[in-house]
């Protein structure tokens, strides 16, 4: 790649130094040179710039067997916040610039709540977390729906109609006076995997979230694939049953109408005596084992059919599954998914795809927190970690 733009090269080199500090703190200038292949003069200039901006600080000395002791460098205390807005709750995490979680906070509300309830919850999360640590570098917010990033509006959120038509930047900037970054929920989740999960080991992977809705985040060569219209990955509205159950999007037979948390709750509440409104409140014995097995098999089969389309089209090396439904059923769900996929995938594609369950807790809010982090450590279109 020929880079003629001088400031672009400068930004990439600066990001390389910041990443060397992020991954190896505390680190000496000479060690940054080893990690980045930049010359000593450039490193001195960049480090001076970062020190004067207050982004990094000197962190004591370290013995050097062959000369003067090293002066070590690390980030100054600074934080990012990630907030995830779900159909029936919102949660936030507070992270430092190394990506370490310092605190989290969650607020619940009923499905299909109006905008006031949702913004109230986000406000409470923001207040609770910002009272824990300061200062902040930025706040990332993710939510499900078709988002128009040019106009900062929610075109449609099938599972949170209270967000429909809002200007998300205006709504949240009213009470969050910090740089704000936005992304769609499933794509944020894929970013969390890329930064902190299984996705660290793969340049290309697909992350599938199965919770209140179902969506995918597609990572291609370390960057999100969004499609021409920016809405790529809406697997939840893939028709798996022509003329089937009505979906909240208005169409019939969508995957989401068969395997989302809401559908599963409807099944459970139809069988158990004490209804629950979140899968995390389910306890063994609430429904007969026979019904549980039936629910597991049906959900796995439906998801397997949806994932077959992903595999036949994209042939990903890895699919990472996450979300409340995946956490609820755990590993046994994978067996059902795989046996259905075997029926619908081209053999060559199926055999090349590995399926894992994400190990990241709070993955959605972590994904939102990677949005402000990426403005420091990545250069859009040119440099991805």
Interface residue list for Zn ion (CB under 5 A) = 237, 247, 249, 251, 254
Q: How much is the CA Rg of the chain, to the nearest whole Å? A: 23
**Closest to 93 in 3D by CA, of 135, 128, 134:** 128
Nearer to Zn ion, 120 or 253 (CB): 253
Q: How far is the CB of 161 from Zn ion (least distance, A)?
A: 14
Minimum distance from residue 192 beta carbon to Zn ion (Å): 25
Q: How far apart are CA 213 and CA 255, in angstroms?
A: 9
Toward Zn ion, which CB reaches closer, 237 or 336? 237
Closest to Zn ion by CB, 80 or 254: 254
Cα separation, 258 vs 236, in Å, equals 9
In the bound state with Zn ion, the residue whose beta carbon lies nearer, of 26 and 233, is: 233
CB of 250 to Zn ion, least distance (A): 7
Q: Give the chain's largest Cα–Cα span.
A: 76
Minimal distance, residue 253 CB to Zn ion, in Å: 8
Residue closer to Zn ion by CB (options 26, 306) is 306
| Degrees to nearest 5, angle at CA 77 with 19 and 72 | 55
Please state the closest distance from residue 262 (CB atom) to Zn ion, in A: 12
- 294 C-beta neighbours (distance < 10 Å), count: 14
Chain Cα centroid distance, residue 113: 23
Nearest approach, Cβ of 334 to Zn ion (angstroms)?
24
Which residues, in sequence order, are CB contacts of 251 under 8 Å at separation 6+? 237, 239
Between 248 and 336, name the residue whose CB sits nearer to Zn ion: 248
């Amino acid at each position: 790649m020929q880079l003629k733009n001088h400031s672009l090269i400068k930004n990439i080199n600066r990001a390389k130094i910041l990443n060397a500090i992020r991954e190896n703190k505390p680190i000496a200038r000479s060690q940054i040179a080893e990690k980045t292949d930049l010359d000593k003069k450039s490193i001195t200039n960049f480090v001076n710039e970062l020190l004067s901006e207050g982004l990094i600080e000197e962190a004591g000395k370290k013995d050097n067997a062959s000369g003067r002791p090293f002066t070590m460098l690390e980030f100054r205390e600074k934080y990012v916040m990630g907030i995830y807005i779900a159909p029936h709750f919102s949660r936030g995490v507070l992270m430092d610039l190394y990506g370490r979680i310092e605190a989290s906070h969650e607020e619940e509300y009923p499905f299909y709540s109006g905008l006031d309830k949702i913004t109230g919850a986000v406000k409470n999360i923001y207040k609770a977390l910002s009272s824990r640590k300061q200062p902040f570098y930025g706040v990332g917010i993710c939510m499900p729906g078709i988002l128009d990033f040019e106009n900062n509006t929610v075109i449609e959120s099938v599972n949170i109609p209270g967000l429909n038509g809002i200007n998300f930047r205006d709504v949240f900037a009213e009470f969050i006076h910090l740089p704000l970054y936005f992304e769609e929920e499933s794509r944020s989740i894929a970013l969390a995997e890329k930064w902190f999960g299984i996705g660290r080991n793969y340049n290309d992977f697909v992350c599938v979230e199965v919770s209140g809705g179902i969506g995918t985040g597609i990572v291609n060569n370390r960057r999100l694939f969004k499609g021409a219209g920016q809405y790529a990955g809406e697997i939840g509205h893939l028709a798996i049953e022509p003329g089937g159950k009505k979906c909240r999007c208005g169409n019939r037979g969508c995957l989401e109408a068969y395997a989302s948390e809401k559908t599963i709750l409807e099944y459970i509440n139809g069988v158990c005596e004490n209804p629950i409104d979140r899968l995390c409140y389910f306890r063994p014995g609430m429904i007969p084992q026979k019904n549980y097995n039936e629910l597991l098999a049906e959900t796995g089969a439906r998801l397997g059919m949806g994932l077959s389309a992903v595999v036949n089209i994209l042939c990903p090396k890895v699919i990472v599954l996450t979300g409340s439904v995946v956490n609820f059923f755990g590993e046994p769900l994978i067996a059902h998914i795989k046996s259905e996929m075997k029926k619908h995938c081209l053999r060559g594609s199926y055999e090349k795809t590995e399926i894992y369950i994400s190990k990241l807790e709070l993955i959605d809010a972590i994904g939102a927190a990677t949005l402000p982090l990426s403005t420091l450590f990545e250069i859009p279109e040119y440099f991805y970690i």
